[in-house]
Amino acid sequence: MAEQTDKQAVFLTGGLMRHVVRMSLTTSVGLMAIFAVDFVDMIFISMLGNNALAAAVGYAGTLLFFTNALNIGLSIAAGALVARELGAGRAEQARNYAASVAVWGVLGGIVVSGLVLWNVRVLLALLGAEGEVQDLAVRYVSIILPTMWVMAAAMTSMAVLRAHGDARRSMMATIYGGLVNAVLDPVLIFAVGLGLEGAAVASVLARITMLVVAFLPALRVHRGFARPSVGQVVQDFGAVRGIAVPAILTNVATPLGNAIVVREMGQYGTDAVAGMAVIGRLMPVAFSVIFALSGAIGPIIGQNFGAERFDRVRAAFIAGVQFVGVYVLLMAGVLFLLRAPIADVFDAQGETRALIYLFCGPLALMSFFNGVIFVTNASFNNLGHPVYSTWINWGRHTVGTWVFVMIGSSLAGAQGVLLGQAFGGVIFAAIAWLLVGRVVANLSKPAKAEPFSEQKRLHSLFGRRGW
């Protein structure tokens, strides 16, 4: 058993900062490929000369993020469960969990996408989309959303690869998906003349590519998936639900906060919404490493938690925060120097240009606090306290967004909307830091109970002493 643990759990030895940097940078390369394609998508769509197209992509992206919260939550569950079992030397149970999460992801993707498509116009109207913009967003969403189950299986496969420490193959899945998208975008948008629909079709084909490239090595190289059976899938439901439900709720909060911002920004006109849509594409490209850190540090913490290496769990968290600080400082400097060329690429004028300049200045520095929240959420999810992530994200994207966005809007217009959103992140990053300190401090206490059990989840919600 020890031999199997050493072979499977690669994060139990070696420098933690080295693991954090390697996993984050490798994962971010793949993420950047996808985000860069989205960024290029926006450039191509802007070249069509209709701001309504860019605004439609902004509304559609917010709606698609809601649906993708299910996939993200399930992939978090897959990564946490598989990493913990590998750290404890239970490789067969790790395979069972991976298969069960994949099955639930496919089923959930089919059901949720059907429900959303049935009510797509109503949902887009709630976000503030009207007239031509709404029509364009409906066409875009209707092409991409039916492949939600494909993305669920692809993201689960990539989470399994990362849990095994194979960030390179996880990266290659997103790189190949990005290449397919990048090659087909100009062909379908301009050469074939499909316009916005061409961008959507390219995204669908990219999703299929990601699934194939991620699933095959997870299955063949790492034997990461067991053959699913109804009995096993049902039996694992409790453990999967224990992480997936809080993680899904956690990620639903993010598009909810974005929806609040989109709706408030909408009162300042199409140029303001278009500027926010550009920022929405630019931010993941610039800070893909920070976005990747949440998924990258999870397996490191999870394996060491499963092996009861609590000193390394604490050190991994600190290494993650330190890494965030250094990266944000460097990237904020780069964005500030390139703010004018970036705005020129989109031919941005007026409010659109002002918002891009704001992002390339103080908002970029504020990304540090988002990074802290990412690291703390990954820690909660892998240490048996996923409900803490839920509370932090919901607080940050409801009260922490709505209140400060409204204040910022009244004081500084469209720019105040984004500044208010960022200020809310500062407050909840501080709260998350205090909570994770409590969780990490108690890791050395002897506890034989299942860390994802109902009792433990109630402790996570109400505190160990109750109210």
Q: What is the mean pLDDT of each run of 10 residues along the chain (467 residues)?
A: 50 85 78 67 73 80 81 88 89 94 95 94 87 90 94 94 90 89 88 87 92 95 93 92 85 78 83 81 81 81 86 90 93 91 80 88 90 91 87 90 91 89 92 91 54 44 37
pLDDT at position 36? 65
pLDDT at residue number 190: 87
Ramachandran area for residue 14 (φ above 0: left; ψ -120 to 50: alpha; else beta): left
Q: pLDDT tens-digit profile of 100-146?
A: 999 999 999 999 999 999 999 999 998 888 888 899 999 999 999 99
- The structure tokens 């993650």 sit at 320
Rg (the chain; Cα; Å): 21
Amino acid at 399: V
N residues, the chain: 467
In SS3 terms, the chain reads as CHHHHHHHCHHHCCCHHHHHHHHHHHHHHHHHHHHHHHHHHHHHHHHCCCHHHHHHHHHHHHHHHHHHHHHHHHHHHHHHHHHHHHHCCCHHHHHHHHHHHHHHHHHHHHHHHHHHHHCHHHHHHHHCCCHHHHHHHHHHHHHHHHHHHHHHHHHHHHHHHHHCCCHHHHHHHHHHHHHHHHHHHHHHHHHCCCCHHHHHHHHHHHHHHHHHHHHHHHHHCCCCCCCCCHHHHHHCHHHHHHHHHHHHHHHHHHHHHHHHHHHHHHCCCHHHHHHHHHHHHHHHHHCHHHHHHHHHHHHHHHHHHHCCCHHHHHHHHHHHHHHHHHHHHHHHHHHHHCHHHHHHHCCCCHHHHHHHHHHHHHHHHHHHHHHHHHHHHHHHHHCCCHHHHHHHHHHHHCHHHHHHHHHHHHHHHHHHHHHHHHHHHHHHHHHHHHHHHHHHHCCCCCCCCCCCCHHHHHHHHHCCCCC
Q: Tens of pLDDT along 349-367? A: 788 888 888 999 888 999 9
pLDDT at residue 32, as a whole number: 67
Domain ranges of the chain: 2-462
Q: How far is the C-alpha of 180 from the C-alpha of 208, rounded, in Å?
A: 10
User: Are 352 and 346 spatial neighbours (Cβ–Cβ below 8 Å)?
Assistant: yes
Measure Cα distances from 118 to 123, 124, 128, 136, 452 in Å.
Answer: 10, 12, 18, 16, 35
Handedness of CA 445, 448, 450, 455 (dihedral sign): negative
